[in-house]
Structure 1
C-alpha cells in the first residue's frame, strides 16, 4: 500500500519532546518538591511539551508510592495543563502496577508509562496479558516501555502489533535497539513511537516517530527540541547537524558506564539547577566524570 503525506496527522498523544525528568532530592535525600516544581517549569519554558515522571531517570525503583503521587501532584500544580504528564507506573507485579496506575490517574497524570515486567522474564503471552490488564484498569492512555537491556524481556514486534489493537494502548517508548523491528511496528500500526535513547531521536523521527523521551533534555531541553523543529521545518541537514552537535554530550551522559540519572543530576547540580543526590545503590559521579560531562555540555551549548 502506498503511503502519502497527510496534513491531518493526529497530534502526538503526549507531545513531541518529552523530558525523562530527574526526581530532585534534598541534601538529606528526601523528596524536594519545590525543586521539582522549579525544574519542571524550566523544562517546559525551554521547549518540553511533555514530562515523564517516576521513570528510570526519575529513580522510580527507590521512590515510594507516596513520593510518586506527591511528585505528580506538585509538578501538575507548577506547570498546569501546558505539558502532558506521563507517569511511570511499571513494576514486576501486575497488581502493583495497576495500583500505581489508579494512583497516577487520581494525582493528575495524562497517561501512564508501563515497562515490561522485569526479573521474572515472562513469556510473550504473559507480557501481552500484563499490558492488557493494566490498560483495562483505568481510563488513562498507556505508553508501553520496551527496554530489554534493563528488564531482560523484549516486547516482540508481533506482540506490539497485537497490543496496538487495544483502544487505550497508544504509544511506545522505544529502547529496544532494534530499528528494523521498530519500523515493522510503525508500518503496521498507529502506535505513536517515542525514541527512548537520545542517539535515536532524529533517526526514529525521520521514519515516522511521534517524538522522543529524552534524558539529555534535563540539561539542554531547547537543543533537543531544536533538532525536531528543524526537521519539521523541512531542513533535515540542519536537524542532522544539531543532532551530531549534541552527540558528545549524549555519549557522555548515556554511554559512559553510568546511568543517565547519575550524569544528569551531576550536571544539573553543577549548573545550579534542582537535582540533589542520587539514592543508593546509585552513587554520584566522580570528579573525572564530571569534568568530561562539563566539557561535552559546554561544547554543545557554545555552538548552539
Structure 2
C-alpha cells in the first residue's frame, strides 16, 4: 500500500480512468489496450481504472471486462495497480463481476452506486457491504450522483468505512464540505474523479485522482501532485490552472469524456478506436478545438 503525505493511497496517487480501445469494427482491442496501458504507466500513472464510466462499461460484456483486466494486468505487471469497475444496478450481477475481476488479476474494485432504481441509503449501504463481503479485494466506492441519481451520503460513507475492504472513494459529488466531513472522521482514501479538483482534493487531505484527462496528458497532470507534495504550492496552482482549458473542453463542453478522450487519442495515432452506440464520435470542429487545447497544455513549460 502506497503512503502519501496525507495518509494512505491504496491504489496509488495518479490514476487514469482508462478508455476501452475498440477496433474499427467495434470489437474489443486487447492489443491496443495493452499498448495504451503501457504508455500511461510509463508516463506517470501508478494506477489504471478499467471499465468505469470512461471505459464504456454499460456497453461492454462481462467477458470483455474480464479479458480487459487480464490483458492490462499482463501489460503493466506490478508497475501499477489495476482497479476493475464492476458496479451495476443489480447487486447479484455486481458480485459476479467482482469475483470475475478478482480471478482475472485485479488489485481492487471500483463500485458505483446502484443507478436507476434510486435505492434509499440503507439499501445503498447493504449493497456495498454485500459486495465487500463477497470478494477479497479492496473496494473504492464511486459516488457520482449526477449519473446514478443517488448520492452516497457522508453519514453512509462513515458507516461503510468500518468494513475492512472498503478503503477508498472516487468522489464526483461536487460537495467539498461533505468530503471533508468524511475525511475528518474516517481513514478512507479520497480520489477526485473531477480533474478540476486535483489540487483542491490533495490540499484537503485526499490521496490523488482518477482522471479521464490523464488518458491524453498523464505526465502534466501528475506534475500537479508532484509539485504540491514537494511543497511548491505556487507551481501546483499554476499547473492546475494551465490544465483548465483542456479539462473544460474534455469534460464540460457537452460531450462525454469518453468521446473527447478517444477523439484526441485517435488524432494522435494512439489506441482508442470508435465509441459504442449510443455514444457518437466528436465532430470535426470539436476535435480541432480539443487538439489545440491539448497541444497548448502539453507544450507549456
Aligned partners of 1:196 and 1:106: how far apart in 2? Answer: 26
Is 1:139 aligned to residue 136 of structure 2?
Answer: yes
Aligned pair in 2 of structure 1 residues 7, 57: CA closer, same or farther (>3 Å)? closer
2:113 aligned partner: 116
2:24 aligned partner: 27
Aligned partners of 2:8 and 2:128: how far apart in 1? Answer: 24
1:61-210 equivalences in 2 (<5 Å): 61-210=58-207
Give the secondary structure class of the aligned counterpart of 1:96.
Answer: helix
1:240-255 equivalences in 2 (<5 Å): 240-255=237-252
1:303 aligned partner: 300
Aligned partners of 2:74 and 2:297: how far apart in 1? Answer: 32
1:15 aligned partner: 12
Aligned pair in 2 of structure 1 residues 184, 79: CA closer, same or farther (>3 Å)? same
Q: What's the C-alpha RMSD, in Å, of the aligned pairs?
A: 1.1
Aligned pair in 2 of structure 1 residues 205, 92: CA closer, same or farther (>3 Å)? same
Task: Verify the 8 A CA contact 2:7 2:207 in the aligned structure 1.
Answer: no
Task: Return the offset for 1:299.
Answer: 1.1
1:220 aligned partner: 217
Give the secondary structure class of the aligned counterpart of 1:26.
Answer: coil
Aligned partners of 1:282 and 1:65: how far apart in 2? Answer: 19
Task: Verify the 8 A CA contact 2:216 2:261 in the aligned structure 1.
Answer: yes
Gaps of 5+ in 2: none
Is 1:59 aligned to residue 74 of structure 2?
Answer: no
Aligned partners of 1:176 and 1:240: how far apart in 2? Answer: 22
Aligned partners of 2:5 and 2:16: how far apart in 1? Answer: 26
Give the secondary structure class of the aligned counterpart of 2:9.
Answer: coil
Task: Return the offset for 1:295.
Answer: 1.3
TM-score (norm 1): 0.97
1:289 aligned partner: 286
Aligned partners of 2:228 and 2:260: how far apart in 1? Answer: 28
Task: Return the offset for 1:11.
Answer: 3.8
Aligned partners of 1:79 and 1:20: how far apart in 2? Answer: 15
Task: Return the offset for 1:302.
Answer: 1.7
Among 229, 234, 237, the residue aligned to 2:231: 234
2:270 aligned partner: 273
Task: Return the offset for 1:144.
Answer: 0.1
Task: Return the offset for 1:120.
Answer: 0.1
Aligned partners of 1:169 and 1:24: how far apart in 2? Answer: 29
Aligned partners of 1:171 and 1:7: how far apart in 2? Answer: 14
Gaps of 5+ in 1: 1-5
How many residues of Structure 1 are paired with residues of Structure 2 in the alignment?
299
Aligned partners of 1:302 and 1:19: how far apart in 2? Answer: 20
Aligned partners of 1:25 and 1:89: how far apart in 2? Answer: 19
